[in-house]
């Protein structure tokens, strides 16, 4: 149903020339855009395609009803003509598509008016596409026998639908795994506690461990993308916990933070840490204004 993405780019043997045997029609290609979640869980889509069908008026011959195509006299129905040419190395034989019948081997004197002699009519059709859970951007779904009609009773070609997956504001994907970031507060990072994390299955509550550093990556098992072969097998979600630094604290909160600092190392007064030392050095040379 899907999977063999390449393989018959050239329409499964439709280039066999003017043989009279049944030939499979050429494949058609199109694309469909789906959301990140639709790729994860699979979806049904309907696409509009203009498909050729054998003309019902003439039965695909291209000739007006009551008449029939005549064998091309120039090529004798072979669709190819051989001509000889004098070259430096003697006579050379060249094979060329018959210019009279364009390789069909037949000449239509009275054209069918429904198809203007082509033997085919085109119409817009709605085609259902089942997109399997786990499909990734750029992969194709093959729909059998929705391509060009076959010749001389051969089967239709296939329709290859390339799937374009839109990017997601929160989730990134790599194969079967999903990646995201989630903010946690300084207090949650220090003390631990519950935080809500978005997954493709909805929010989950995660218990942050006390003493979690920023950029800690956690794994939510089975919250990734299903395997294309077995949708019960799922990848994981990797979430990077990012400790948020508050930018607009109330006077009260700032006071509480200063009090916290005073009893936990007093970095505001002892100048602990490399960055603060450098700042003091600069101050001496007058790069910074004095603070109050």
Positions that interact with Zn ion (CB under 5 A):
55, 57-58, 72, 74-75, 98, 100-101, 112, 114-115
Name the token pair of 155.
């089967």
In contact, 190 and 200? CB cutoff 8 Å:
no
Our CB check for Zn ion shows the closer of 35 and 73 to be 73
Our CB check for Zn ion shows the closer of 97 and 214 to be 97
CB of 51 to Zn ion, least distance (A): 16
Our CB check for Zn ion shows the closer of 72 and 141 to be 72
CB of 26 to Zn ion, least distance (A): 20
Using DSSP bridges, classify how beta strands 237-243 and 216-220 pair: parallel, antiparallel or unpaired. Answer: antiparallel
CB of 20 to Zn ion, least distance (A): 14
Among the listed residues 130, 128, 127, 157, the one whose alpha carbon sits nearest the alpha carbon of residue 3: 130
CB of 52 to Zn ion, least distance (A): 12
Handedness of CA 272, 277, 279, 284 (dihedral sign): positive
Task: Tell me the DSSP string of 167-214.
Answer: P-SS-EEETTEEEEEEEE-HHHHHH-EEEEEEETTEEEEEEEPTTPPT
CB of 165 to Zn ion, least distance (A): 41
CB of 144 to Zn ion, least distance (A): 26
In contact, 42 and 131? CB cutoff 8 Å:
yes
Our CB check for Zn ion shows the closer of 30 and 114 to be 114
**What are the helix (H) ranges across the chain?**
36-41, 186-191, 251-262, 267-270, 274-284
What H or E segment, with its residue span, contains residue 97?
Answer: strand 90-97
Measured distance CA(33)–CA(17) in Å, rounded: 36
In contact, 149 and 142? CB cutoff 8 Å:
no
Our CB check for Zn ion shows the closer of 100 and 162 to be 100
CB of 15 to Zn ion, least distance (A): 18
β-pair partners for 44: 130
């Amino acid at each position: 149903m899907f999977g063999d993405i390449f393989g018959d780019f050239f329409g499964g043997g439709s280039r066999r020339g003017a043989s009279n045997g049944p030939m499979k029609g050429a494949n058609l290609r199109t694309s469909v855009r789906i959301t990140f979640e639709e790729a994860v869980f699979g979806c049904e889509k309907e696409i509009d395609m203009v498909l050729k069908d054998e003309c019902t008026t003439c039965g695909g011959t291209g000739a007006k009803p009551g008449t029939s195509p005549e064998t091309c006299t120039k090529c004798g129905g072979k669709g190819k003509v051989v001509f000889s040419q004098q070259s430096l190395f003697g006579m050379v034989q060249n094979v060329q598509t018959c210019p009279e019948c364009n390789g069909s081997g037949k000449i239509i004197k009275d054209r069918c008016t429904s198809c203007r002699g082509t033997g085919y009519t085109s119409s817009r059709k709605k085609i259902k596409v089942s997109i399997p859970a786990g499909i990734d951007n750029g992969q194709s779904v093959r729909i059998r026998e929705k391509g060009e009609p076959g010749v001389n009773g051969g089967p239709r070609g296939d329709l290859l639908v390339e799937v374009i997956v839109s990017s997601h504001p929160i989730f990134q994907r790599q194969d079967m795994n999903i990646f995201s970031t989630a903010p946690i507060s300084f207090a949650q990072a220090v003390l631990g506690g519950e935080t809500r994390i978005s997954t493709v299955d909805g929010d989950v509550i995660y218990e942050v461990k006390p003493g979690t550093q920023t950029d800690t990556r956690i794994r939510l098992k089975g919250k990734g993308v299903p395997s294309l072969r077995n949708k019960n097998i799922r990848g994981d979600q990797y979430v990077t916990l990012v400790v948020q630094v508050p930018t607009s604290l109330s006077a009260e909160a700032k006071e509480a933070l200063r009090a916290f600092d005073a009893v936990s190392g007093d970095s505001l007064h002892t100048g602990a840490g490399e960055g603060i030392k450098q700042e003091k050095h600069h101050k001496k040379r007058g790069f910074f204004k004095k603070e109050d």
